[in-house]
Structure 1
Amino acid sequence: MDDGLALHHVGVRFGGLTALDDVSLRVPPGRVVGVIGPNGAGKTTLFNVVCGFLRPESGALTLDGRPLRPRPHRLTRLGIARTLQGTGLFAGLTVLENVMAGASHTARAGFLPALLGLPRSDRDEARLRGHALDVLDGLGIAEHADAAPGTLPFAVRQRVALARALAARPRLLLLDEPAGGLGADDIAELAELIRDLPRRDLDPCAVLLVEHHMDLVMAVCDELVVLDFGRVIAAGTPDEVRDDPAVTEAYLGADVEEPAT
């Protein structure tokens, strides 16, 4: 099956440094796929390739079996949404307005009707507002809709960033270290949210997760891909990866439960 996102023998080099070397992976619909590895393994480079910030020197990307050349500003139109390290929220907008911005590509009215305040634009805004409120409610943070992001605890801001990505109704969600800066209780709640995303009745989406918190990736991922020095050294279920001697040697360590990235 060719459904979903796939990387085929992708290579990226920076001068004489090989950042990714013959990397292949798939993110099929209905799955959470995690990418882990030690510091400098190539996780961020891989994420940037999928987001379109970097173009691979070799190999290819496909979406549903068709060639894919992602560009950051066109991801949502492909059904792909992403979060960034930190939150990346707009400080000058309310929580609700931030989430509405995530769905702006679905606006029907266009720029001129919005500029002139025409009735069609008003209807469009009302539709986006209702959808954004539904997404916030689904993540349990609708009470903060009118707040400025900077006034909220970091864990809540992280949920707002997730809500903004989900407002685009993606088929694939790219999560870049969403547990960074969170405490144990918040990570446990985040894990529950991520596990539910591919299985939701409304707008389910697959997930590609780049993360270094091992408790999170082991709890939510259906499959793991382990990078070391830009190469895939193991792939499989969390249990298979955890028991792989190559992974133990390169990344996990015999007594390490949560290595730093």
Structure 2
Amino acid sequence: MTEQGLALHHIGVSFGGLTALDDVSLRVTPGRVVGVIGPNGAGKTTLFNVVCGFVPPQTGTMTLDGRPFRPRPHRLTRSGIARTLQGTGLFAGLTVLENVMTGASHTARAGLASAVLGLPRSDRDERRLRQHALDVLDTLGIAGHADAAPGTLPFAVRQRVGLARALAARPRLLLLDEPAGGLGAEDIAELSELVRELPRRAVDPCAVLLVEHHMDLVMSVCDEIVVLDFGRVVATGTPDEVRDDPAVADAYLGAAVDEATA
């Protein structure tokens, strides 16, 4: 039976003489939320960039549904993977609805010629994408902002728009890059409920790979947590197992000591 989901096998990445990732392995299977945590400089962002194809690993391999996986950033959504960006990364010149529509643009059936010439097939595509984007916005409770410019909205709403754009791609795997950054307690609680629900949705369920500093969020939504320190995996397990692991305390306490003595 083919192993489903994304798997990283002994990934290694170095930048000059600096080792960013060292023998990192993890797996994200359907129906699961997997968190990656660690102090600053642990390699979390590099790990995301490897999965997205921005950084090629020098050692190790990746598989998707048991087959070799060599991601290319511009084709990531075609592989069933979408990601959010720190700071939302929205297009200021587009409305909220148009931003979300860009997330699903890879599903457009009409070609460039049809769009340029305004042929009926292109019109049908746009209507379909528009309705899908509205449905996603409605699911996240922000359809009322569809015609607004992103820059006019509160940060928490812009965060949801960025999430909606990623979900519009109908991913099988969603990469969440510090989604709680800049949010208040109430917004984080709503985000936690949403993330927990994503793999279990009746329509377009998706597994989640989450990088986050907000530990309450991580502990409340993750089925499994991978802890990085200096580019190496120092602990893997359920939230309870990771919370009680001495290696995790050492990683975070060591970082705190370094900052205090710097």
Which TM bucket (shorter chain)?
A: over 0.9
Distance in 1 (CA, whole Å) between partners of 2:50 and 2:41 is 15
State the secondary structure of the residue aligned to 2:124: helix
Is 1:83 aligned with 2:92?
A: no
Superposed counterparts of 1:199-214, under 5 Å: 199-214=200-215
Amino acid corresponding to residue 19 of structure 1 in structure 2: A
Q: Which runs of 4+ in 1 moved over 2 A?
A: none
Distance in 1 (CA, whole Å) between partners of 2:251 and 2:19 is 18
Distance in 2 (CA, whole Å) between partners of 1:157 and 1:111 is 30
Structure 2 stretches of 5 or more lacking a match? 257-262
Amino acid corresponding to residue 169 of structure 1 in structure 2: R
The TM-score, its normalising length taken from structure 1, stands at 0.96
Distance in 2 (CA, whole Å) between partners of 1:17 and 1:198 is 36
Percent sequence identity is 85
Superposed counterparts of 1:1-261, under 5 Å: 2-251=3-252
The TM-score, its normalising length taken from structure 2, stands at 0.95
Q: What do residues 159-210 of structure 1 show as CA deviations (whole Å, max 9, x unaligned)?
A: 0000000000000000111111111111111111101000000000000001
State the secondary structure of the residue aligned to 1:190: helix
Structure 1 stretches of 5 or more lacking a match? 256-261
C-alpha deviation, 1:42, in angstroms = 0.6
C-alpha deviation, 1:251, in angstroms = 1.7
Distance in 1 (CA, whole Å) between partners of 2:84 and 2:111 is 25
Distance in 2 (CA, whole Å) between partners of 1:85 and 1:180 is 8
Distance in 1 (CA, whole Å) between partners of 2:245 and 2:28 is 21
Distance in 2 (CA, whole Å) between partners of 1:163 and 1:112 is 28
State the secondary structure of the residue aligned to 1:48: helix
Amino acid corresponding to residue 171 of structure 2 in structure 1: P
Distance in 2 (CA, whole Å) between partners of 1:86 and 1:110 is 32
State the secondary structure of the residue aligned to 2:63: strand
Distance in 1 (CA, whole Å) between partners of 2:46 and 2:148 is 34
Distance in 1 (CA, whole Å) between partners of 2:130 and 2:18 is 47
State the secondary structure of the residue aligned to 2:113: helix
C-alpha deviation, 1:16, in angstroms = 1.1
Distance in 2 (CA, whole Å) between partners of 1:123 and 1:16 is 53
Amino acid corresponding to residue 116 of structure 2 in structure 1: L
Amino acid corresponding to residue 180 of structure 2 in structure 1: A
Amino acid corresponding to residue 137 of structure 1 in structure 2: D
C-alpha deviation, 1:71, in angstroms = 1.0
C-alpha deviation, 1:252, in angstroms = 6.1
State the secondary structure of the residue aligned to 1:89: coil
C-alpha deviation, 1:250, in angstroms = 1.2
State the secondary structure of the residue aligned to 1:225: strand
Distance in 2 (CA, whole Å) between partners of 1:146 and 1:172 is 28
